[in-house]
Amino acid sequence: MNLILFGPPGVGKGTQGEKISSEYGLSHLAMGDILRAAVRDQTEAGIRAKSFMDAGKLVPDTVVVSMIEDRIIAEDGKGFLLDGFPRNVAQARALDVMLSQHALKIDRIVFMDAPEENLINRLSGRLICRACGFGFHRQYSPPLKSGWCDRCGGELYQRDDDREDVIAHRLEVYREQTAPLLDFYQHQKGFFKLDAGGKMDAVFAALKEAVSE
Binding letters toward ligand AMP, positions 55-94, x by CB under 6 A: -xxxx----x-------------------xxxx---x---
Residue type for 9, please? P
Q: Is position 32 an interface residue for ligand AMP (rule: CB under 6 A)?
A: yes
| Residue 40 appears among annotated catalytic residues | no
Cβ contacts of 88-91, under 8 Å, gap ≥ 24: 88/58, 88/61, 88/177, 88/178, 88/180, 88/181, 89/180, 89/181, 89/184, 90/61, 91/61, 91/64, 91/65
| Residue 126 appears among annotated catalytic residues | yes
| Residue 87 appears among annotated catalytic residues | yes
Q: Choosing from 19, 87, 108, 122, which is the catalytic residue? A: 87
* Residue 160: alpha-carbon gap to chain centroid: 16
DSSP string, 44-94: HHHHHHHHHHHTTPPPPHHHHHHHHHHHHHT--SS-EEEES---SHHHHHH
Q: Choosing from 57, 159, 163, 193, which is the catalytic residue? A: 159
Decide whether 47 or 205 has the Cβ nearer to ligand AMP.
47
Footprint (CB under 6 A) of ligand AMP, residues 123-152: none
| Residue 13 appears among annotated catalytic residues | yes
The residue range among 52-60, 108-116, 143-151, 200-208 that interacts with ligand AMP, by the rule CB under 6 A, is: 52-60
Q: Is position 7 an interface residue for ligand AMP (rule: CB under 6 A)?
A: no
| Residue 159 appears among annotated catalytic residues | yes
Longest alpha-carbon distance in the chain: 49
Active-site annotation, residues? 13, 87, 126, 159, 170
Residues that bind ligand AMP (CB under 6 A): 9, 31-32, 35, 52-53, 56-59, 64, 84-87, 91, 161, 170
